[in-house]
Amino acid sequence: MFRLLMIVLITALGCEAGVAETDSAAGHTAKSLITSCRAFADDDSRSQAPFDDGFCGGVVVGLAYADPTICVPKGLAYRQSVRVVIQYIDERPSRMHESFVELATEALRSAWRCKRGQLPLWCSMTCSAR
């Protein structure tokens, strides 16, 4: 499971970097992905942009499990972490032009920042006790 999440994260961030190099003005802003994130969170099979839906989900889930400062609760449905990101972005409409990855990271850290001595979910599955 952890290996799969790392592959998704690396792939998603690689796509993000590729877009930034070729078209930094457009990139993946919050505005460009919010509709796809909503479709992903709602499991909308009628979506017109399934690749972007999956990109949003992959970035959010990858960040939730790979960022050592984020401690997602065990058993949390991955679509719920996308909903947290959507709510965070919706509450900051003036920041829709900013990087989706940056805002998603802020959202997840705001919701589930690790407390002292708490292990991130990925580490709680693979690391020995500190």
Per-residue pLDDT tens digits for 101-113: 999 999 999 999 9
Residue 125: the pLDDT is 58
Residue 65: the pLDDT is 85
Residue spans of the domains in the chain: they are: 2-115
**Which has the higher per-residue pLDDT, 32 or 117?**
32
Q: What is the mean pLDDT of the chain?
A: 80
Residue 57: the pLDDT is 94
Helix axes 30-41, 78-90, angle to 10 degrees: 140
Q: Which fold has domain 2-115?
A: 10k-s Protein, Hypothetical Protein A; Chain A (1.10.890)
**Of 72, 70, 77, 76, nearest to 106 (Cα)?**
70
User: For tokens 């003036």, what's the residue?
Assistant: 94
Structural tokens at position 128: 């020995």
